[in-house]
Amino acid sequence: MGLRGRTRLLITAAALTAALACVSGAGAPVASASLPPEEALTYIPFGFVANEHPPALVTETLEALQAYGIGQNLLPLPKLKNDGRLKLNKRVLKMLSLWVSQTSAYNAAHGTDITAVASFAGKVKGKSLKLEEPSVRANILAAVETVISLGLGGLSLDFEPYPTSHAYLELLGEIDALFARRGFTGRLAVVAPATAGRWSPQYVKEITPLVGQINPLFYDSERKTAPAYEQWVREGLAYYSANTASATRIVPDLPSYGPNRWHDPSAENLGTATTATEAALQEGSRVNGAGIWWWWGFYYDEEGEGAYEGAPDRNTWLTRTLGVPFTP
């Protein structure tokens, strides 16, 4: 998601074992929170779904999500084919079923309401997804119906470059109709460009009545200083506040991951993002929640030269971000 084509991490069994051995902060108590768990989200690594893992991994992740007050657990699925089809092999199907069953059991046992959300990724330029073609949209709808049938509790669309066509609006309307036909009450979310103006005010006003949640991606900004990054976040939140339908939740995705050529974690991190969010709310913006890109960077302590240290972000999330007076 985002990261301009950066390859997603595919976790091997050895890497996973090493990561679990060096976790710090697991099971940390949730601070007194203003942020409801249903308005907090994170993105689980693709390898947690694409590779077969024991139930203990799922349970450990659910425990950690509860500890950090996160209720939306986004599970990335294989990228949609150019014709809109979603191909799920036996291993992915097995892991999705495990996530659904374990989440349901965990919620029942702990009184939590963690939602397993299907995250659809797709490219919408060149020879990729041509949303203008009814057959492509029909295949995407079939994929949506599949994940609903598997028991996933929500849907997030991560189409990039960000769609700007009327066909995207048609697809969202068709998904809404499918939800209504199936009696599905889960939330439909879309990722959105963080920079003000990338989607015109009119386009935001057309998209947001069709979805329950919009997630502007406040990372990979190329800003090199904290003040520049914070200004970018405040401007973006003000823009979406002014143009988003009143019933649609605004849940920005905030950064917690290692450096790349677009991302300087000394400027972009949960601390500066939280400061910017607090300032935006004081300036009158509507911000209903917060997301973390991504779970691996946030939760696991990496090793080696240049490894990202997530402990400051974990501390910030518990001691500051959860207590921000988000818009009800």
In-domain check, residue 125: yes
In-domain check, residue 115: yes
Q: Mean pLDDT across the chain, nearest whole number?
A: 91
pLDDT of 72-127, one tens digit each? 999 999 999 999 999 999 999 999 999 999 999 999 999 999 999 999 999 998 88
pLDDT of 150-164, one tens digit each? 999 999 999 999 999
pLDDT beyond 60 at 23:
no
The beta-strand segments (E) located in the chain are: 40-43, 72-76, 115-123, 154-160, 188-193, 213-217, 249-250, 253-255, 290-293
Enter the pTM of the model: 0.91
pLDDT of residue 59: 96
CATH number at residue 224: 3.20.20.80
In-domain check, residue 136: yes
> How many Cα atoms sit within 13 Å of 326 on the Cβ side?
23
DSSP 117-157: EEEEEEE-STTS--TTSHHHHHHHHHHHHHHHHHT--EEEE
Beta bridge partners of 250: 214
pLDDT of residue 25: 44
pLDDT of 255-312, one tens digit each? 999 999 999 999 999 999 999 999 999 999 999 999 999 999 999 988 777 789 999 9
pLDDT band at 1 (very low <50, low <70, confident <90, very high): low
Single-letter amino acid, residue 156: S
In the chain, the percentage of residues whose pLDDT exceeds 90 is 87
Of 22-36, 61-75, 172-186, least confident by mean pLDDT is: 22-36
H or E segment to which residue 315 belongs: helix 311-319
pLDDT of 184-194, one tens digit each? 999 999 999 99
- Number of domains into which the chain is organized: 1
In-domain check, residue 70: yes
pLDDT band at 32 (very low <50, low <70, confident <90, very high): low
pLDDT of residue 4: 35
In the chain, the percentage of residues whose pLDDT exceeds 70 is 90
Cβ–Cβ < 8 Å for 116, 163 = no
In-domain check, residue 16: no
Better-scored residue on pLDDT, 24 or 31: 31
pLDDT of residue 109: 97
In-domain check, residue 72: yes
* Cα separation, 146 vs 39, whole angstroms: 25
Q: Tokens 């400051």 belong to which residue?
A: 312
The parent domain of residue 243 ranges over 33-319
In-domain check, residue 181: yes
* Cα separation, 72 vs 56, whole angstroms: 19
In-domain check, residue 90: yes
